[in-house]
């Protein structure tokens, strides 16, 4: 099973994965900081005016030649069908929050990657802001499968970007499928790793050490809102 999921990693890496603890361009989300987010005015020129369910996203890895960057894909009514040579994508959720500290909402778009040839459930995350009335991609990354670094939550809290991935010690830019020492335990333990990032004006910097927490209710599924389409 693990080898099968690992093989998907080359095919499903449809977004740029950060190479170190510093990430170019932006921060994200909703969660503990959502009350402050509600105070940010939404206008016709806000990021909320962008229809992300009918939107063209950059594909940073050629699915037929892993590592080769080219092309894009377009969701229609929140979906991209799975066709030969191209994995399917579907809109999972959109979280609005100020992730750059300018008191203007940004959009965190979570897409579910459809793997019809297996049971893996990875996600792709795109973070957009609005500049000159046009959406600009700030950061994008893909997550692992359920307990192997699967996306649990992403939100803004007290000026920080918080990313939660299922598993112990699962942090972006590391091997999300590495054995975290819990696979042999029965029943399977419920853990997630929370990592904070600080936007310094040009890139994300990891803030402090990741924190491992337990979750007795959720298992490998995002806790963000359900699809809006």
From the CB of residue 228, how many other CB atoms can be counted at a distance below 10 Å? 11
pTM of the full predicted structure? 0.74
Phi-psi label, residue 101: left if phi above 0, alpha if psi -120 to 50, beta otherwise: left
Residue 216's pLDDT is 75
Taking alpha carbons only, the member of 151, 143, 191 closest to residue 168 is 191
From the CB of residue 218, how many other CB atoms can be counted at a distance below 10 Å? 13
CA-to-CA separations, 139 to 58, 64, 82, in angstroms, rounded: 11, 23, 25
Residue 94's pLDDT is 93
Give the chain's residues under pLDDT 70: 1-44, 60-70, 82, 85, 115-119, 185-189, 226-229
Query: Where are the chain's structural domains?
Result: 2-214
From the CB of residue 152, how many other CB atoms can be counted at a distance below 10 Å? 26
Residue 139's pLDDT is 84
Taking alpha carbons only, the member of 127, 119, 129, 128 closest to residue 150 is 119
Question: How far is CA 214 from its chain centroid?
Answer: 20
């Amino acid at each position: 099973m693990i080898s099968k999921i690992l093989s998907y990693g080359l095919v499903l890496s449809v977004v740029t994965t950060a190479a170190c603890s510093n990430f170019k361009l932006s921060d994200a989300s909703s969660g503990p900081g959502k009350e402050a987010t509600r105070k940010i005015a939404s206008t016709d020129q806000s990021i909320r005016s962008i229809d992300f369910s009918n939107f063209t996203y950059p594909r940073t890895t050629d699915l037929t030649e892993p590592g080769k960057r080219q092309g894009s894909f377009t969701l229609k009514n929140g979906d991209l069908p799975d066709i030969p040579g191209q994995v399917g994508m579907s809109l999972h959720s959109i979280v609005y929050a100020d992730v750059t500290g300018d008191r203007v909402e940004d959009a965190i778009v979570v897409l579910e990657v459809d793997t019809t040839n297996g049971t893996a459930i990875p996600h792709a995350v795109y973070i957009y802001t609005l500049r000159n009335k046009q959406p600009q991609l700030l950061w994008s990354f893909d997550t692992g499968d359920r307990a192997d670094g699967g996306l649990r939550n992403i939100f803004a809290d007290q000026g920080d970007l918080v990313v939660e991935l299922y598993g112990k010690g699962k942090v972006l830019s590391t091997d999300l499928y590495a054995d975290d020492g819990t696979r042999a335990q029965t029943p399977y333990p419920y853990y997630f790793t929370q990592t904070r990032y600080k936007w310094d004006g040009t890139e994300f910097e990891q803030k402090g050490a990741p924190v491992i927490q337990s979750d007795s209710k959720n298992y490998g599924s995002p806790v963000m809102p359900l699809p809006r389409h």
